[in-house]
Structures are given as C-alpha cells and as structure tokens.
Structure 1
Amino acid sequence: MSAPTRQKRLSTADISSLKGKQPIVSLTAYTTPMARLLDAHCDLLLVGDSLGMVLYGLESTLSVTMEMMIAHGQAVMRGASRACVIVDMPFGSYQESKEQAFRNAARILQDTGCDGIKLEGGAEMAETVAFLVARGVPVLGHVGLMPQQVNTAGGYRSKGHDAAEADKIRRDAKAIGEAGAFAVVIEGTVEPLARDITATLACPTIGIGASGACDGQILVCDDMLGLFNDFKPRFVKRYANLAGDVSQAVATYADEVRTRQFPGPEHVFQVKK
C-alpha cells in the first residue's frame, strides 16, 4: 500500500506567480484550530502582529514580542498544510539595521518553519528588504497605513488623500517591490491610489482597506467572522456574527448549569457492573 500523497504547500514564488491570473485569498491566523479551518480556502495565512490587539487586548501592536510571534507562528504551522504562511516581524525587531533584521528573520524562519516574513516600511526599508531577499528570506512588504508607526502618524487614518502623501506611498511601494518583495500589502489607502500602485508594480498587491483591483485581499479573521461586537472598521465585511452566537451559547450553558439541566445522565460516567 503506497503512502498518501502529501499536499504541497504554496510557496512565496507561487503567490508571486498569481499576479494578473487570479485574486490571492488571504486571512490572518493565530492558532492551530483556526489555521486548520482556514487552510483549505486561503492562498496565504498571515500570523499578524495584530494578535496583540485581537488576542491579548493590547492598545496597539507595539508591545508584541518576538516570542509571541514565534509561538503563534508555530501554532499556525501545525494547522496549515496548504496555504503559504507568513509571520509578521514585530516592532523593534528589524528597524535598527539590516543585520538585526536578518538575525530576527532567520530566527522566525528557523523556529517556526514558516514560508516568509512581513515587515512594514517604504523606501527607508528597501535596503533591508534587498538584504534579506539576497540571503534567502522571502519578504512580504507593507505600505500605506502602517500600524507600527501609529505614534508618529498620529493615530489610525486612511492615507493618500493629498498629492504629497499619495506620491510618497507610490514611491514606497515601488521601492519595496524593486527591492525584491514577493508581494506588497497596501493598507488603508484611498481606492484610486491602491488601484494605480497595483497596475504599476511587477509583484502582487494585497489590499486591506484599499481597492478591489488589488491582486489579493486580506482581512483580520476575527473581524470578518464578527467575533467583536464593539468594533468594525469601514473596510471590513462581516461574513458571520459569531460574537452573538458565542454569547447565546454561553447564556444557554449558564442557564442549564444553574437549573441543573446540565450535565445530564449521558454526560457523566456510571459505575461499571
């Protein structure tokens, strides 16, 4: 009897090759069970530093550590067999120098087995991206609204509304693409700008709050599943309302425990005769 054929994981080169062919389906994933659910449907799973806010209740992504990213990267890799898995580099792990960036990127790749890393930044990070790519580290770029720069940006707001800002984002995307990124995330930019960047870059663009013309789309999984009742960004479409389902399920459980309906005879172990 022959061994079952092991499904081949999509590589960063496979993702790049989808430019102009078919839209790239991407979602964030932070845990093994969720990765297993998403894997069959997604081309790319991002272990985003958004986990700091989504899972840990932090105010921003700035407090996320390498240890957190590696632990969740390992968890997602245990649940994904098909999708290309990319792990975010947290704030402070790559900005100091290209050598620092390589040491930490190499650690992420070695400790998790993921397919590549993502880092934020435009023209100022192009040399670092080129340095990493030349040394075997696949890089997913990220331009436009950059959450790790929330303090210098003065908060979370859409980008590209004036000519100077739009021109900078264009130059940033071009620099990161030419440095060798296999794809570039465009976040929180006005639609015509994201459309224009997509048309000019040789590598794929993956939009979030950008344009339907991007080569792919990504959302925070918990947002699109409706796991938060109190927060819904403009660019998120909710495909479910799981927060309501969870709340109702827990309310029913609590009622059954208090009225001694649960556990029933079928949920407990009897003495064997």
Structure 2
Amino acid sequence: MSVAKKEYKRITVKSLIEMKANEEKISMLTSYDFTMAQIVDKAGIDVILVGDSASNVMAGHETTLPITLDQMIYHACGVIRAVRRALVVVDLPFGSYQSDPKEALRSSIRIMKESGAHAVKMEGGSEIKESIKRILKAGIPVMGHLGLTPQSIYKFGTYTVRAKEEYEAQKLKEDALMLEKIGCFSIVLEKVPAKLAEEVAKSVNIPVIGIGAGSGVDGQVLVAHDMLGMNKEFSPKFLRRYADLESIMTEAVQNYNEDVKAKQFPNEKEQY
C-alpha cells in the first residue's frame, strides 16, 4: 500500500528528514535574487540554496572563491523576502569558516541574523568538524557538502569526479557518518560515483542530496540558471536542461531592439 504524500505548508529541517523516511524525493534549486526565488518557491521546490555559485553565475568569476560573506548575505536577503514555503540554505563562503571555529560561528550568526535564512551549508568533512560543532551548538542548522568541493578547486586542480579511488571513497563514507553523528540535518554529495552515493545515502538517516551523484540519493540539486538553459557554456554530464531561456531571452531582446529602432515601440496604445 502506497503512503499518501504529506503536504507541507512550510519546509523545515524536520520535514526533510520525514521525507527521507517516507521515501519522498527532495527537490532543491539555487536562487540568488527575489524574482527567481519567488518563481522557484511558487513552483513547489523544497529547498532553495543561496549558493556561493553566485560568484560564477551572478558575478562572472571563474571560481566560487571570490564571493564575500557580505555578498552572500545580500543575495540571501532578497531570496528570503520572496519565499513562503521552501527551506532556504545559505553557503558559507570560502574563508569564512575553515580556519577558526569562532570565525565560523560569527559568519553563521551574521547570515542568520542579517538575512533571516534557515540554515547554512559548509564544504568538507573531518577537517572542519570543530567549526560545524560550534555552529550547531548555537542552534544553527548545518547542511554538509562532500565529494567535489568547489571551494577547494586549487587543491584538487580539477572539477572531475571525486572518490573514485578506494581511500577517498572510504573517507567520504566516514565523513558522512561523522556529519550525521555531530548533528548535520542533511548532506550534499557532488560529482561522485552513483554506486558510492547510494551506499552513503543508505548508511545515514539524514537526507543525502546529489548533484552529479546518480539517482540513488534522497534528492537532487541543480543551479537554476543551468537547468533553465541560461548558460549554454556549462554542459556537464549530470545537467539536464528543462528550457532554452538563453535563446528565448536573446530573441526577445533583439525584437525589442528592432522595434525601438524602427519606431514601432511604443505604439499609440502604449502611451499615456
């Protein structure tokens, strides 16, 4: 007998754990501004990530490293004002938590107080354990992030699939168990073998949300701009485009430009 899907008026960290227990997949997309977040939230997405990918998508940087804590808070504020249902998670940016647990807590408190966000996300495992524990003790929910960790791109030197080697896969599994044990409410797994990701998802009671981690996890996350086809230059294997907004928007702008040049806009009905 199938279990009726529970309707959530507001998604919380507790909701996500219930969804995993009920084998209901979790949907997650990025947003960085009010308008996009409003659309994503109305469409029924469960979790909105204010990702440090804003460094790439919104600011045009090559990596996620340049974005600052102040900039992350700015983006999160716009998203929070738009959202009525989704859980909003904000990335702690590079340099705001890695070196000092006290600094990690200060950064997290600023995000929560100044933006009104619901949780923070951090990249890494055992190496940032003390920072995560300090934040959790303050009552701030933490989403972990293992596998490919873009903030460590210069350490790895490439965006290729992680944890293909046994030693790295073993560390990933141990880190996932550790993140659950210390109190993280969920984990993002990025660009790891599907079999390993499924094994990790089955080993923990908290939701595992994948990006390039196969279908055996508890949910999926993509960058909204990539999923909507606004950025055709980025074409990883795991990305499915659900629209071609780059072409649609380009055509619309070209038509507007042509109408202005031809003195066809505005017409008499579009004037006061």
Q: TM-score surpassing 0.5? A: yes
Distance 1:15 1:113 in 2: 19
Structure 1 residue 8, shift from structure 2 partner: 5.0
- Rounded to whole Å, the distance in 2 between the matches of 1:189 and 1:18 is 23
- TM-score norm. by structure 1 comes to 0.93
Asked if the contact 1:10–1:43 (Cα under 8 Å) also holds between the matched residues in 2, the reply is yes
RMSD of equivalent CA atoms: 1.2
Q: State the AA in 2 paired with 1:39.
A: D
Q: Secondary structure of the residue that 1:174 maps to in structure 2?
A: helix
2:121 paired with 1:80: no
Q: Does 2:56 match 1:53?
A: yes
Contact between 2:41 and 2:86, CA under 8 Å: does it hold in 1?
A: yes
Task: Answer yes or no: is 1:172 the counterpart of 2:175.
Answer: yes
CA distance in 2, matches of 1:124, 1:37: 37
The CA distance in 2 between the partners of 1:187 and 1:77, in whole Å, is 25
Give the deviation of 1:9 after TM superposition.
3.0
2:184 match: secondary structure: coil
Distance, in Å, in 2 between the alignment partners of 1:89 and 1:97 is 13
CA displacement, residues 216-252 of structure 1 (integer Å, 9 cap, x when unaligned) = 1100000000001222221110000000000111111
Contiguous gaps of at least 5 residues in structure 1? 1-6
Deviation at 1:185, TM superposition (A): 0.3
- Look up the match of 1:27: 29
For 1:174-189, what aligned pairs fall within 5 Å after superposition?
174-189=177-192
Query: What's 1:257 paired with?
Result: 260
**1:41-120 counterparts in 2 under 5 A?**
41-120=44-123
Please name the residue that 2:129 is paired with: 126
Q: TM-score w.r.t. structure 2 length?
A: 0.94
How many angstroms apart in 1 are the aligned matches of 2:234 and 2:265? 33
2:201 is the counterpart of 1:198: yes
| Local SS of the residue matching 2:220 | strand
* 1:157 corresponds to 2:153: no
Higher gyration radius (CA): 1
Equivalent position SS for 2:123 = coil
Q: Which residue of 2 aligns with 1:13?
A: 14
Is the partner of 1:39 in helix, strand or coil?
helix
Q: Distance in 2 between matches of 1:146 and 1:119?
A: 9
